[in-house]
Amino acid sequence: FFFKQKTAYEISACLVGSEMCIRDRGRTYPNIQMFFEKVGNHPDRILNLYFAYSVLLRALNRAADYLKIFDYTTGDFQEDQQTRVMVSTLLNHTLSESTVPFIESALFQDITTDTKRRTFMQYVLNITRIMDCVECEKCKVYGKMQTFAIRTAIKILFLSLIHI
């Protein structure tokens, strides 16, 4: 588990990193050649990304009951309603259309101690700090949001292990 997630985070950081973008006259474009050099031509890296997003999906489904009743208040009634509908639609889709990609107790068997969990979470936090070095603000924000989502997903899954 640890190796797959670690590799996926590194690939993900690479995908949003400044080298994956071409800047021209104030606009940013994807660097397709760099994508294939770093990710696209490496099936193992694609599989690790798939695994990382499976972790996100599993955590989303684990937290569905809470997310359905969460108070999404933005201060704008229409936005609040729209947010509730969008979250409900997303959850209904992921719960009905996705299979369980893994069983947490089997997946996390190599991260059974609190020390190993903290070490792993520290590693993920370090990736967020690395994102501070990215020049493109859009890429930096996207990368930080992505690693925050992955950290949150792992916390949800670790918490569910305690309560199984």
Average pLDDT over residues 140-146: 78
The pLDDT of residue 9 is above 70:
no
Question: Is the pLDDT assigned to residue 81 strictly greater than 50?
Answer: yes
Torsion sign across C-alpha atoms 29, 149, 77, 91: positive
Residue 147 pLDDT: 78
> Annotated catalytic sites, by residue?
136, 139
- Return the pLDDT at 90: 92
Q: Of 55-64, 96-105, 109-118, 138-147, which gets the smallest average pLDDT?
A: 109-118
**Using CA atoms, how far apart are residues 80 and 73, in angstroms rounded to an integer?**
6
Confidence band (pLDDT; 50, 70, 90) for 16?
low
In this predicted model, what pLDDT tens digit does every residue of 94-105 receive, in sequence order? 888 877 666 666
- What's the predicted TM-score (pTM) here? 0.68
Q: Distance between CA atoms of 47 and 127, rounded to whole angstroms?
A: 20
From 149, 142, 121, select the one nearest 30 (Cα to Cα): 142
Res. 73: pLDDT tops 50: yes
Whole-number pLDDT of residue 31 = 81
CB 58 within 8 A of CB 102: yes
Q: What percent of the chain has pLDDT over 90?
A: 14
